[in-house]
């Protein structure tokens, strides 16, 4: 649907917004409304073509300003309607304390209820999976057709109301009451009903109100001065002067710019809890990014086995396979796959063996054989502690070489029944940096944004990946406390910090960050702590969020510059026209060669109204974002929108004057 069609559809809403109770929130447009009323009364008392034309165009100025806001809100309402269509009246299978199931409407669920959802059923409300694993279709919320896996006990346990379970059976603990789900919040957000002015908007509104009051005082004092000088001015001319002097363009478009910025976030499936978060994203100067899944593809793959001196490659291969059978992490499965590709026997499973699963606490997995032999695979420090001895110098050198190359070393250790241990060798896991990441980081650096990689890897591995990716800094072996401390150090230096997270352990850092983006697949604690939620659960989207925030700020700054600059041409149109009769020498200021004083004033008022319509598409689309420093952005704004704001009105007012001057009575 094109903008013209949208404008026609939203015209009735723009007319409804003429209500003074709505317009008083925008002091600039409220003054224009009062001016419209004043000129209308003047045109009725003393009718003339000039007075009627001025009054009509002042009313159109207010309507056009309302239209910009109405079109921006209309886009959100259309999106909200499509979201509402995804909601259904769902019956939930509430689980009782005794294990019995009771069918209840989803609207009667409360926080803490446990519900059962099986294949083919719709999740009745937002919650965390506490039992089971399932494939879930989230296309109704995210638009992504590919199903996702959600399971209990991890950082991908959250499910959203309105999504559909495709396989298996899960038990969900409800974390949001009816009416307060993410779908409800999305609908409220895109409709604009929950939007409040951001601090920057409030500050700019105060500035515009101050300018308006200053010009109001100037015009009020101009009336007696004009009468004293022998060139008395009527109400219509004084109101026209006031409306053309005050920053009506940005006053009319300010709300639309903010709504459109929020709308761009929603269109990339990001739910912002407040406009403040969007603005903060535009001012961010430090980005904290997880390595795995954000900078790298994640799911590190075993690439080769490096035996210790005196150990046969086949022996290391078989030991690596046995120690990884119980490791169901992607890395563990890749070790088994590599061993099988190198000739290991898939049917060679020892009898009476006890497999030891990998845990985050031990950082090892392995197997205990029936003859007392134990084999373990894990981090070098964990294997050394398990063996009770230092690694051989040759093995330490292998580990260092792999780390310097950006890989992750996993050491294989073996201990016999007598307790004698030895290191068999090292597995080389590779973590591949995503294509184009270094270029994106270079763009961010050109904007003055520092990028910091967060990883649980050791410092050597982290340094190699950071160097390849092109980030500015890294935080290795990071704990929740480390993340918090880093954020606080950055903020103490006056920087705004953004980060992503999905786990409960990320919640403190998400809450501390100026922009905390929680993954929708993550835990309820993470989503509550953040001020944005990414419905696609894509950690790389943090970079897009920053760009959208900057585009919002750049658009607002550019149109403010244009609005203030285009007043210059109006001065040259109206001021000489008002006083040329008393002071003929002022005709030298009529650089545009406007036909008559009345046509000059009317042309300025008409241009003042039409420029709002002309800038609505730019306000909704946003000024094109280009990675550049703040100085370069300011220079571009001044050159394009500052100089353009001066030149365009001179041309526009002259063209309008050529038409207006042909109207009888003007």
Residues forming the active site? 290
Chain mean position to CA 232:
55
CB 405 within 8 A of CB 296: no
Q: How many CA atoms lie within 13 A of 190 on its CB side?
A: 25
Those residues whose C-beta lies under 8 Å from the C-beta of residue 543, and which sit 6 or more positions away, are 287, 440, 444
Distance CA 632, CA 215 (A): 32
Handedness of CA 15, 19, 25, 29 (dihedral sign): positive
Phi-psi region at 327: left, alpha or beta (left = phi > 0; alpha = psi -120 to 50): beta
For residue 165, list its beta bridge partners. 136
Q: Is 159 helix (H, G, I), strand (E, B) or coil?
A: strand
Query: Would you list which residues are annotated within the binding site?
Result: 327, 331, 358-365, 377, 502, 506
Name the residue among 460, 487, 539 with its Cα closest to residue 296.
539
Name the residue among 248, 193, 238, 195 with its Cα closest to residue 218.
238
CB 376 within 8 A of CB 365: yes
Token readout for 78 is 């259309």
- DSSP-derived secondary structure for 597-659: HHHHHHHHHHHHHHHHHHHHHHHHH-PPP----HHHHHHHIIIIIIHHHHHHHHHHHHHHHHH
Give buried/exposed letters for 200-218 (b at 16+ CB in 10 A, else e): bbeebbeebbebbeebeee
Q: Which residue has the tokens 């040329």?
A: 580
Distance CA 80, CA 70 (A): 15
- DSSP-derived secondary structure for 80-120: HHHHHTT---PEEEEEPTTS-EEEEEGGG--TT-EEEEETT
Those residues whose C-beta lies under 8 Å from the C-beta of residue 474, and which sit 6 or more positions away, are 452, 453, 454, 455, 462, 463, 465, 466
Distance CA 65, CA 27 (A): 12
Angle of the 541-565 helix axis to the 567-579 helix axis, nearest 10: 10
Query: Would you list which residues are annotated within the binding site for Mg(2+)?
Result: 502, 506
Q: Is 2 helix (H, G, I), strand (E, B) or coil?
A: coil
CB 226 within 8 A of CB 578: yes
CB 49 within 8 A of CB 666: yes
Count of C-beta atoms within a 10 Å radius of residue 264? 21
Count of C-beta atoms within a 10 Å radius of residue 405? 14
Backbone angles phi, psi at 56, to 5 degrees: -60, -45
Query: Would you list which residues are annotated within the binding site for ATP?
Result: 327, 331, 358-365, 377
Distance CA 170, CA 121 (A): 11
Chain mean position to CA 596:
51
Q: Pairing state of beta strands 354-356 and 164-165?
A: unpaired
Name the residue among 461, 617, 460, 440 with its Cα closest to residue 546.
440
Token readout for 471 is 């980030």
Q: How many CA atoms lie within 13 A of 455 on its CB side?
A: 26
Count of C-beta atoms within a 10 Å radius of residue 418? 7
CB 390 within 8 A of CB 359: no
């Amino acid at each position: 649907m094109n903008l013209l069609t949208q404008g026609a559809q939203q015209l009735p809403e723009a007319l409804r917004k003429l209500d003074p109770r709505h317009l008083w929130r925008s002091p600039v447009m409220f003054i224009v409304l009062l001016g419209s009323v004043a000129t209308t009364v003047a045109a009725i008392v003393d009718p003339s073509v000039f007075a009627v034309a001025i009054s009509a165009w002042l009313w159109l100025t207010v309507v056009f300003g309302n239209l910009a806001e109405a079109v921006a809100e209309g886009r959100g309402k259309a999106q909200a309607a499509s979201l509402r269509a995804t909601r259904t009246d769902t019956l939930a299978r509430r689980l009782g304390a005794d294990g019995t199931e009771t069918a209840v409407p989803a609207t009667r669920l409360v926080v803490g209820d446990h519900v059962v959802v099986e294949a083919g059923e719709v999740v009745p409300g937002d919650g965390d999976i506490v039992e089971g694993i399932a494939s879930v279709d989230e296309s109704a919320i995210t638009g992504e057709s590919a199903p996702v896996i959600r399971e209990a006990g991890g950082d991908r346990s959250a499910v959203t109301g309105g999504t559909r379970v495709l396989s298996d059976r899960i038990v969900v603990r409800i974390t949001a009451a009816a009416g307060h789900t993410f779908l409800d919040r999305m609908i409220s957000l895109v409709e604009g009903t929950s939007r409040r002015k951001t601090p920057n908007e409030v500050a700019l509104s105060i500035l515009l109100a101050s300018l308006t009051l200053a010009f109001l005082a100037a015009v009020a004092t101009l009336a007696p001065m004009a009468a004293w000088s022998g060139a008395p001015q009527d109400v219509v001319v004084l109101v026209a002067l006031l409306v053309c002097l005050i920053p009506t363009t940005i006053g009319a478009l300010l709300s639309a710019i903010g709504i459109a910025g929020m709308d761009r976030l929603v269109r990339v499936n990001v739910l912002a809890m407040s406009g403040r978060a969007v603005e903060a994203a535009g001012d961010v100067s430090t980005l904290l990014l997880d390595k795995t899944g954000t900078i790298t593809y994640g799911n590190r793959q075993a690439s080769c086995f490096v035996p210790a001196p005196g150990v046969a490659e086949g022996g290391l291969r078989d030991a690596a396979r046995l120690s990884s059978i119980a490791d169901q992490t992607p890395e563990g499965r890749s070790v088994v796959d590599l061993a099988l590709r190198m000739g290991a026997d898939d049917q060679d499973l020892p009898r009476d063996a006890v497999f030891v699963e990998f845990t985050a606490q031990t950082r090892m997995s392995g197997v205990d054989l029936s003859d007392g032999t134990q084999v373990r695979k894990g981090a070098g420090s964990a294997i050394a502690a398990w063996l009770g001895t230092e690694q051989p110098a040759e093995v330490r050198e292998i580990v260092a070489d792999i780390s310097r190359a950006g890989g992750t070393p996993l050491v294989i250790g073996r201990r016999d029944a007598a307790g004698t241990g030895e290191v068999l060798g090292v597995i080389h896991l590779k973590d591949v940096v995503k294509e184009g990441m270094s270029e994106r980081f270079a763009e961010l650096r050109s904007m003055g944004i520092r990028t910091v990689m967060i990883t649980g890897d050791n410092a050597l591995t982290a340094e190699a990946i950071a160097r390849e990716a092109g980030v500015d800094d890294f935080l290795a072996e990071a704990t929740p406390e480390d993340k918090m401390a880093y954020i606080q150090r950055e903020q103490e230096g006056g920087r705004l910090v953004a980060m992503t997270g999905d786990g409960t352990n990320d919640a403190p850092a998400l809450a501390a960050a100026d922009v905390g983006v929680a993954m929708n697949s993550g835990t309820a604690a993470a989503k509550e702590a953040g001020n944005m939620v990414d419905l696609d659960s894509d950690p790389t989207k943090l970079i897009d969020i920053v760009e959208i925030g900057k585009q919002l700020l750049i658009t607002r700054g550019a149109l403010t510059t244009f609005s203030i600059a285009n007043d210059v041409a109006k001065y040259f149109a109206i001021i000489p026209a008002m006083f040329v009769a008393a002071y003929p020498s002022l005709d030298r200021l009529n650089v545009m060669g406007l036909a008559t004083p009345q046509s000059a004033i009317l042309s300025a008022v008409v241009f003042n109204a039409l420029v709002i319509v002309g800038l609505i598409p730019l306000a909704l689309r946003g000024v094109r974002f280009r990675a550049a420093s703040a100085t370069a952005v300011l220079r571009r704004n001044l050159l394009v929108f500052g100089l353009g704001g001066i030149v365009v009105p001179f041309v526009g007012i002259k063209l309008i004057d050529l038409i207006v001057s042909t109207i009888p009575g003007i």
